[in-house]
Structure 1
């Protein structure tokens, strides 16, 4: 196993355009796998379960930037608030308010992405177009001093139909561009995983979430 991860990581980074952030999805991976990537110079890791994320945060180097990339329940936000670098899956105004509240308690501003439902399948979470418009128009975001919306995140349908995947990513890029007009500080469009990140990059993604291409198949 030794150095396999570092090698795959280097090749992957080499292939990414400038300005694209690679989130190494380390869910289900043990500390030694993460440390191999860490020792190769990587610092940004993504987890999708709060319990696993907080446990790894406790054990591993403190300069790791942890991203919460899975569905986040409101009652779990308090465990992440003191340290999480970016919450990628904010899928409702209520969750946003909870993050703001916990950020205030932790004395920090928490960076977030709004998860948008772009997939043509129903199994994914996220805001729909109308909810985004409401959020943008409503002014409630301006009242939240402990949340900073950095941009958007979305997941395409899990399908071999690349035209569909491209269409879904393009729709998210269009929504992101509109958001950018209203809030020029936004700077992250997170889309693309191991199977579809190349299409996502072509459609304007500047953050990709990749696990199996770095760490091998899921444990």
Structure 2
């Protein structure tokens, strides 16, 4: 732990116990869904800690060795990364702005940017990532639901072309997979049928793997607190869960 990380104090024991119980419960549910639906390994669980104090993250880091945490806001991620242990694996899952790419790329233990939705943003990340740092994982965000309120590129050729650009022209980046938020309403209404948004992402993944030489086998980042079990059923390898672990978030200042 760095000297700056020592400034973060653990929360009161009651809060620690709550966080540990919440995370343990979610892990059990993720593992159960994986055993029921998936033939491979248990999906990566990203604990979405946006708008929650660094002390909450430290509690899960120390108590149950949670390492993957997700943040939506660049400045909040920068501040937390500077205070917390260097082996925390950060995921940026918020809307990606071109003028913030260099700031993100400078975080050495940034594990992944999950919201790349344009070639120019991939280029900015690649150009800003120092050669002395680990190669940065990126996911292409696809707006599978077509909702204007959500970021991401529309399914189709642009996804394939962006993937090809990352693989062929971004040596400091690794195309890790595709990401979507999807419509919670569709998961709730799907019943025994597949969620159409998740199905679309699976189809996009197959197209990229077939059409982009060197892409390899890609991951699927899909599923949040309310629909992660359905996402796992449809092949998710990376689920992003926040409020069920950390509780309701305060309004952003």
* TM-score, reference length from structure 2: 0.80
Q: Could you list the runs of 5+ residues in structure 1 that have no partner in the other structure?
A: none
Please tell me whether residue 69 in structure 1 is matched to residue 100 in structure 2: no
> How do 1:62-211 and structure 2 match up within 5 A?
62-82=86-106, 83=108, 84-104=110-130, 107-128=133-154, 129-136=156-163, 141-159=167-185, 161-163=188-190, 166-181=195-210, 182=212, 183-211=214-242
Which structure would you say has the larger Rg?
2
Asked if structure 1 preserves the Cα contact closer than 8 Å seen for 2:19 and 2:245, the reply is: yes
Paired position in structure 2 for 1:216? 247
1-structure distance, mates of 2:89, 2:153:
25
1:38 corresponds to 2:52: no
- What residue is the counterpart of 2:80 in the other structure? 56
SS in structure 1 at match of 2:115: strand
Runs of 4 or more consecutive aligned structure 1 residues displaced over 6 Å after TM superposition = none
Q: CA deviation at 1:184?
A: 4.8
**Is the Cα–Cα contact under 8 Å of residues 150 and 185 in structure 1 kept in the other structure?**
no
Would you say how many aligned residue pairs link Structure 1 and Structure 2? Answer: 218
Matched, 1:6 2:20: yes
> 1:165/1:58 Cα in 2 relative to 1: closer, same or farther (>3 Å)?
farther
CA gap of 1:106–1:125, structure 2 versus 1, over 3 A, is farther
Name the stretch that deviates more: 51-60 or 128-137: 128-137
Q: In 2, Cα distance between the equivalents of 1:136 and 1:33? A: 35
So what's the TM-score if we normalise by structure 1?
0.91
- Structure 2 residue runs without a partner (length 5+): 1-14, 35-40
SS of alignment partner, residue 149 of structure 1: strand
Separation in structure 2 between the aligned mates of residue 27 and residue 140 of structure 1, nearest angstrom: 28
Please report how far the alpha carbon of residue 107 of structure 1 lies from its aligned counterpart in structure 2 after TM superposition.
4.8
Q: Distance between the aligned counterparts of 2:215 and 2:85, measured in 1?
A: 33
How far off its partner does 1:104 sit?
4.4
Structure 1 residue 10, shift from structure 2 partner: 1.1
Q: Take 1:32 and 1:46, find their aligned partners in 2: how far apart are those partners?
A: 15
1:215 positional shift = 0.7
Q: Tell me by how many angstroms 1:78 deviates.
A: 1.6
Checking the alignment, whether the CA contact within 8 Å between 2:166 and 2:173 is kept in structure 1 is no
